[in-house]
Structure 1
Amino acid sequence: MPSSEVSATDQWEIVVFLCTPAAYGCHKRGVTEKQKRALRMFLEGMPELSDVRFVDRAGAYGNFRQDFASNKTLLKAVWAKDLPESFRLKVKQGADRDRVRIAAARRTGVDMAIDLAEIYDDPHRTSEWDASVFLCVEDSAMRPCLSGRGKANGAVVTPEERKAIVAAIKRTPAVESYVYEDQATAYRNFRELYADNEALIDATLLSDMPESYRLKLRSEADWNAVSRRLARLRGVSQVYNQRCMDAKLKLDVEYGRGDLPESKVCAPR
């Protein structure tokens, strides 16, 4: 690759979150000013880095409010003091990103270091569907499959439940289109997606794959309301909401707040 060409991976930063008293692994201690100075000096001395940028709580909070401007519930739940400080690192083209991340994570006063390239460039993360309605399988451990279904508790989705689920999907205005995915199709897609993980494929059986309905939703619709409504139907084990999952991921890897409850992260827009 020519030296002037920058790959997609090179565009992503490594985020180094600093300790707060609430951070797991920081032993209830926040980072000190002395530790921050030592860390900055260490990072600026790394030959693999082209830029080292410090983001204080005020800066993180300003970015947070822009990224989640449409989620009033989340904005009311998070303040500047709730967000950790961080260093944002730009890695030089061709440099060993793992070495940088590991070296930064081991420094005193650091909670964790995350390479955004590993997160956002991962093909396993994306989905062509906006929402997936997964159905109960035999011996499921999911709570919705174990109670509230009468004689069907703990059993595979029944024909009556399946009929009601399809009817609910069809009469939902937010649903633009949908397809049914049986176990065989799900298993084939799973094997193709994780073809590079032989151990995972060997440990997963066809019977482990749930049937599902894959939905395309209208962009202007309230995806969270749709997901909650469909998740309450008998025979549904869970509903995967892509927009909600993207928000949770962003909060975790870019703001260090993956601990926030889904009720706030995925609140109505």
Structure 2
Amino acid sequence: MNSPVEDRLREALADAGATIDTSTLRPLRSPERRRFRVDLRMVSVATAVVLAGTATFTAFGTGGGDQDRAVAVSPQVVQDREAELVVFLCTAPSKQVQCGDGDVTPGRIKEIETTLRGLPQVKSVVYTSRTSAYESLRKDFARNKAVLKEVKITDLPASFTVRLRKGADLREVTDKLRLVAGIRDFVDPASAPPWPRTAELLKWPIKVFLCSKGTALPACGAVRVNGENGDIKVTKEGKGATPAEKKALEELIRKMPEVAEYEFVSQKAAYEQFQEQYKANETLLGATRVKDMPRAFRLRLKQESSWQDVLAEVREQPGVAQVVYLPCPAEMSALQFDFGVALPESAVCPASS
């Protein structure tokens, strides 16, 4: 079961022409903390290529025809660390059998806490009420009026943060959790994509990725058809951006009134950034080459400028594979991993304000 963020990043991976076998990669660990705050996240040039491989989403069917519950877990089932799971409780309305009529009652919350504390693999349990979660969301998304307008307090689930003992069998724990009435789903925060610091995000909130040779994106001239098994097959590869297209795009960006500053990131520069950011992950470094990196422009906007207008104009230019407003995937991921809320990109970052 793929999240909207994972789907989006897989497209970026395809655009880069990367040949990484994501099934062999372990999640890149984030710093040990209870929650991953929005102001610590962004997507770098390298991240747009590799993040599709940083989380493995495994669906656990609950039977009875109800919706599957998904938990983002590490392929390493027996943990060599004190892992965490964030357990989200049921909210109304819900079609899931284990959620019954929807919202869990105070009595049921207490029973779930007792169950969690009784698991031998569990070291500690911390409860976060719906009210506390909503207060945190209002603070974390203070700059995103679209999210504040979209998400109501009744949309947020209460949750438990469960810290597991070192050596705990994560699969065994999740198998038990899926049988507990009142638990909607659960995630492993360590599988959340790692985001560099906010200062870089605020300076360069927009990235314009150029088409790469052999890309599978239709924006670059690729032709894709649905296969018999539901997979997508590329019948015609796309073309890379020409020098003339790159020059025309740079001229357009230079003249845009919303743009305060811009710079071009070559494949070599992107690869150097990538090597520094992921120097501890030898598997990933060994599987990635300079040619896997997409060329890109990154843009800083003038204060109060509309990023929607910039995206709308730039994405239509020849040679442009994809234009990304970087806070979008970061905030979509934060909503899912921090608050148990899945929203489409159109709700988190609407095309028009």
Q: What TM-score do the two structures reach when normalised by structure 1?
A: 0.71
* Alpha-carbon distance in 2 for matches of 1:143, 1:98: 46
**2:308 is the alignment partner of 1:235:** no
* Alpha-carbon distance in 1 for matches of 2:165, 2:305: 42
The equivalent of 1:163 in structure 2 is: 247
**2:238 is the alignment partner of 1:154:** yes
**2:109 is the alignment partner of 1:40:** no
* Alpha-carbon distance in 2 for matches of 1:174, 1:187: 29
- Please give the per-residue CA displacement for 1:59-105, whole angstroms capped at 9, x wherever unaligned: 5445545544554544444444433232356x7xxx85895988875
Q: 1:189 to 1:127 in 2, by over 3 A?
A: farther
Q: 1:229 to 1:97 in 2, by over 3 A?
A: farther
Residue 267 of structure 2 contacts residue 290 of structure 2 at CA under 8 Å; is this kept in 1? Answer: yes
Superposed, which structure 2 residues align to 1:116-195 within 5 Å? 119=192, 122=194, 128=200, 129-146=204-221, 154-195=238-279
* Alpha-carbon distance in 2 for matches of 1:182, 1:126: 22
Per-residue deviation at 1:140? 0.5
Per-residue deviation at 1:193? 1.8
The equivalent of 1:4 in structure 2 is: none
* Alpha-carbon distance in 2 for matches of 1:220, 1:71: 13
Q: 1:80 to 1:123 in 2, by over 3 A?
A: closer
* Alpha-carbon distance in 2 for matches of 1:223, 1:98: 46
**2:53 is the alignment partner of 1:53:** no
The answer for unaligned runs of 5 or more in structure 1 is: 1-7
* Alpha-carbon distance in 2 for matches of 1:12, 1:162: 40
* Alpha-carbon distance in 1 for matches of 2:319, 2:93: 39
Per-residue deviation at 1:110? 4.6
* Alpha-carbon distance in 1 for matches of 2:128, 2:343: 24
**2:162 is the alignment partner of 1:85:** no
The equivalent of 1:208 in structure 2 is: 292
| Amino acid aligned to 2:240 | V
Residue 180 of structure 1 contacts residue 214 of structure 1 at CA under 8 Å; is this kept in 2? Answer: yes
* Alpha-carbon distance in 2 for matches of 1:140, 1:113: 32
Look up the SS of the partner of 1:246 in the other structure.
helix
The equivalent of 1:111 in structure 2 is: 185
**2:348 is the alignment partner of 1:265:** yes
The equivalent of 1:3 in structure 2 is: none
* Alpha-carbon distance in 2 for matches of 1:22, 1:235: 45
Per-residue deviation at 1:27? 5.6
Q: 1:155 to 1:210 in 2, by over 3 A?
A: same
Coordinate RMSD, CA, aligned: 3.9
* Alpha-carbon distance in 1 for matches of 2:165, 2:326: 31
Q: 1:104 to 1:40 in 2, by over 3 A?
A: farther
Residue 259 of structure 2 contacts residue 299 of structure 2 at CA under 8 Å; is this kept in 1? Answer: yes
Look up the SS of the partner of 2:212 in the other structure.
coil
- Please give the per-residue CA displacement for 1:35-54, whole angstroms capped at 9, x wherever unaligned: 532222245678844x7233
Match of 1:18 among 83, 89, 108: 89
Larger mean CA deviation between 184-193 and 135-144 belongs to 184-193
Residue 223 of structure 1 contacts residue 241 of structure 1 at CA under 8 Å; is this kept in 2? Answer: yes
The answer for unaligned runs of 5 or more in structure 2 is: 1-30, 37-83, 224-236
Q: 1:55 to 1:102 in 2, by over 3 A?
A: farther
* Alpha-carbon distance in 1 for matches of 2:167, 2:300: 36
- Please give the per-residue CA displacement for 1:183-240, whole angstroms capped at 9, x wherever unaligned: 1222222222222222222222322211111222334332333233322222111122
| Amino acid aligned to 1:223 | W
Per-residue deviation at 1:157? 0.3
| Amino acid aligned to 2:266 | D
- Please give the per-residue CA displacement for 1:227-255, whole angstroms capped at 9, x wherever unaligned: 33322222111122222233222222222
| Amino acid aligned to 1:198 | E
Aligned length: 248
- Please give the per-residue CA displacement for 1:152-209, whole angstroms capped at 9, x wherever unaligned: x821102232122101211123322222111122222222222222222222232221
Q: 1:97 to 1:71 in 2, by over 3 A?
A: farther
Residue 16 of structure 1 contacts residue 104 of structure 1 at CA under 8 Å; is this kept in 2? Answer: no
